[in-house]
A and B are shown apart, each in its own frame.
Chain A
Amino acid sequence: QKEVEQDPGPLSVPEGAIVSLNCTYSNSAFQYFMWYRQYSRKGPELLMYTYSSGNKEDGRFTAQVDKSSKYISLFIRDSQPSDSATYLCATSSWGKFQFGAGTQVVVTP
């Protein structure tokens, strides 16, 4: 079993809809929780990160962490076609990063 589980999708939504992405993790030692965005044929880039439980908002993006249930979420409001990408959740502990499989998101005009 992978330490970080994520539904690979694809997830297709119309422009303007809210995108909801989720991950679960198994190791309670994980301290940092991140979302990376990866465009086709590019390397992943950090989108947001949070430390411990709670919410973090950045523009149209909101990241949530619930450590009690080991659940990580990313919400994208007012989605745009430029948001079409693969979104990978990641956790970090002891310097190591563990990634979910990535969810492919397609926002259609």
Chain B
Amino acid sequence: DAGVIQSPRHEVTEMGQEVTLRCKPISGHNSLFWYRQTMMRGLELLIYFNNNVPIDDSGMPEDRFSAKMPNASFSTLKIQPSEPRDSAVYFCASRGTGDTEAFFGQGTRLTVV
């Protein structure tokens, strides 16, 4: 299994532009998580899906952030419009039913200038 796949690995964009981050979870996993990691705030849970349904989006910082999971093998995190303070590493993780471990992707390093 290739693990959790995220794209792009790096993204540099100008303030005000729309940014879309993509995630392909491990096949068969039914839970998907989006996290944001910064030096100041550590690893923050943004949103959590179970069976493609958003269960908890209380960590989504603002209306500029939105996430979708149209099917079991794909999820997106969109920021529109982007701001410099959104610069961070964004991780996607997935977990199978009954599993304890969440498997992380390699992350997308976002820089908004």
Chain A residues proximal to chain B, CB less than 8 Å: 2, 6, 8, 32, 34, 41-46, 49, 88, 92, 95-102
Give the residue among A42, A49, A95, A98 with the most B Cβ atoms within 10 A: A95
Known contacts A32-B100, A88-B43, A97-B102; 17 additional CB pairs below 8 A are A8-B42, A41-B107, A42-B106, A42-B107, A43-B91, A43-B105, A44-B91, A44-B104, A46-B101, A49-B100, A95-B55, A96-B45, A96-B56, A98-B45, A99-B35, A99-B42, A101-B43
For B35, the closest partner residue in chain A by CB is A99
Whether the Cβ atoms of A34 and B100 lie closer than 8 Å is yes
Whether the Cβ atoms of B100 and A92 lie closer than 8 Å is yes
Which residue in B31, B50, B104 is a CB contact (below 8 Å) of A43? Answer: B104
A49 to B100 alpha-carbon distance, docked (Å): 8
For B106, the closest partner residue in chain A by CB is A43
Whether the Cβ atoms of A102 and B42 lie closer than 8 Å is yes
B10 to chain A, nearest CB (A): 10
Please name 8 pairs of A and B residues whose Cβ atoms are closer than 8 Å in the assembled complex, sorted by A. Answer: A2-B42, A42-B107, A43-B105, A44-B104, A46-B102, A49-B100, A88-B43, A95-B50
Please give, as numbers and ranges, the residues of chain A lying within 8 Å of B102 by CB-CB distance.
46, 97
A46 to B104 alpha-carbon distance, docked (Å): 9
